[in-house]
Amino acid sequence: MKNSDMSRRFRARTVTNIVYATLLTCLIEIFLIANVSMVAEYLRRMESDSFLLELMNLGPIMALLYVLAGIGIFSLIFLRLQEKHLKYLSRISTAIRDISEGDLNTNIEVKGDDEFTAMAVNLNRMVEDIRRLMEKEREAERTKNELITNVAHDLRTPLTSIIGYLELLSGKTELPPEIQKKYIDIAYAKAKRLEKLIEDLFGFTKMNYGKLSMHVGKVDIVKLLGQLLEEFYPNFVDRNLSYELHSNVPAKMIDADGNLLARLFDNLINNAIKYGADGKRVLVQIHAGDEVVSVSVTNYGYVIPADELPLIFNKFYRVEQSRSTHTGGTGLGLAIAKSVVDMHGGTIQVKSDLDGTVFTVKLKVHFDVNKENFEVAQ
């Protein structure tokens, strides 16, 4: 309910109560005056000289008494009509005080359908939003601490290896050329792993903690996936893998950030190559509808245990640590993929069994660009 509507309803209800109280006061005053007049007439007939009759004969004083009685009656009736709302307003006021003192467990019972009810609903919603924001802030703090811990560990491991091999190469002992080349190759591989880790860390932190602007434009998702698969051709050959791309349409334009989508599917295809070598094939399927495009990336290699599937998109999570160390994974690729999908308002799911490991991404064809930090690509 808008503030203008709430004010209008409040004024209308107040005016209604005033009119109702005024009418009741007039009726009671008429009844009172009529009865007083009857009593005065009765006393005159009885030729009574009581103080009450003398008082009744004093017109100005009686008029003042009638006015005071009217004010009192009107006040009682109006307050009675407003009593329920005043009590409700008092509860709202108490809740606001409790919230201002830091009690975010406060919740106001919602009753009726008026402006005070709308106020209570808005206040409850505000408290819930504050609780959610505080929880998000605490989670961000926990994530930051976890990130620092994992980064320190993951950076130290390749750095230690690089330093060790460089010390061997620069030592006093003369090494055979083939051993020198071997150590240099190992140090280079470790340095490349370090570069990949830093790149993934930079991308992940920028998406999750920074203000990353999305440059949304028209992207042909069929063409994009075809190009990515071609770029990965040397990796497929190196792992003795083949790939297939199936689509129900020759082309499909969607609203998205092309660079972020490229990173999303780059990570999924790279993941399929790393863990699908035993299956000899990677299958990418596109099913385009009017509103949603579904992309699945399937490998037929390592089966992910069922109890690990819910954790697969967690940052720094690696399926089977020894395999991840061997394949050089940072544990951030799928977390980045999930972040990109979330930024596009889509979904990503995974299932893994003997029929293959399938990552399925669903994206909206028409994406709302009128959001914070979104820019329309020119």
Cβ-contact 319, 326 below 8 angstroms: no
Tally the domains of the chain: 2
Q: How far apart are CA 161 and CA 167, in angstroms?
A: 10
* Helices (H), ranges, the chain: 3-45, 51-56, 59-100, 115-169, 177-209, 221-231, 233-238, 258-275, 321-327, 333-343
Structure tokens at 293: 């495009």
Q: Does residue 293 lie within any of the structural domains?
A: yes
Q: What is the pLDDT along the chain (378 residues), one digit of tens a residue?
A: 455 665 676 677 777 778 877 888 888 878 777 776 776 666 666 665 555 556 555 566 667 776 787 788 788 877 776 766 667 677 777 777 777 777 777 777 777 666 667 777 777 888 888 888 888 778 767 766 666 666 666 677 678 878 888 888 887 677 888 888 888 888 887 787 777 777 767 766 666 655 566 788 999 999 999 999 998 888 888 888 999 999 999 999 999 989 889 989 988 998 899 888 777 899 999 999 999 999 999 999 888 888 888 888 887 676 654 444 444 555 677 888 888 898 888 999 999 998 899 999 999 998 765 554 444 444
Of 85, 103, 121, the domain-final residue: 103
Residue ending a domain, choose from 75, 103, 131: 103
Q: Are residues 94 and 218 in the same domain?
A: no
Domain shared by 373 and 228, yes or no: yes
* Residue 265, in any domain of the structure: yes
Task: Report phi then psi at 97, rounded to 5.
Answer: -65, -45
- Going across the sheet that includes 253-256, the strands are 253-256, 214-220, 374-376
Per-residue buried b or exposed e for 349-376, using 16+ beta carbons within 10 Å of the residue's own CB: ebebeeebbbbbbbbebebeeeeeeeee
Which letter does DSSP use for residue 247 in this model? E
Q: Residue 171 domain-assigned?
A: no
Q: Evaluate whether residue 145 is within a structural domain.
A: no
pLDDT of residue 155: 72
Determine, yes or no, domain membership for 118: no
CATH of the domain at 219: 3.30.565.10
Contact 78, 17 (CB under 8 A): yes
Q: Which domain holds residue 341?
A: 213-378
The answer to whether position 339 is within a domain reads: yes
| 220 & 361 share domain | yes
CB within 8 A of 354, min separation 6: which ones? 303
Domain end marker among 103, 124, 140: 103
3-class state of residue 359 by DSSP: strand
- What ranges in 46-176 are assigned the alpha helix state H? 51-56, 59-100, 115-169
The tokens of 212 are what? Answer: 């990353």
Would residue 175 count as lying in a domain? no
Same domain, 96 and 217: no
Asked if residue 121 belongs to a domain, the reply is: no
Q: Provide φ and ψ at 353, rounded to 5°.
A: -155, -165
Q: Any idea what DSSP says for residue 43? A: H
Shared domain check, 361 and 234:
yes
- Distance separating alpha carbons of residues 222 and 77, to the nearest angstrom: 74
Q: According to the model, what pLDDT value does residue 295 have?
A: 97
Specify whether 94 is located in the same domain as 219. no
Cα–Cα–Cα angle for 241, 246, 249, nearest 5°?
A: 155
Separation of alpha carbons 24 and 276, rounded Å: 85
CA 376 and chain centroid, separation? 23
DSSP state of 277: G
> 352 and 218: one domain?
yes
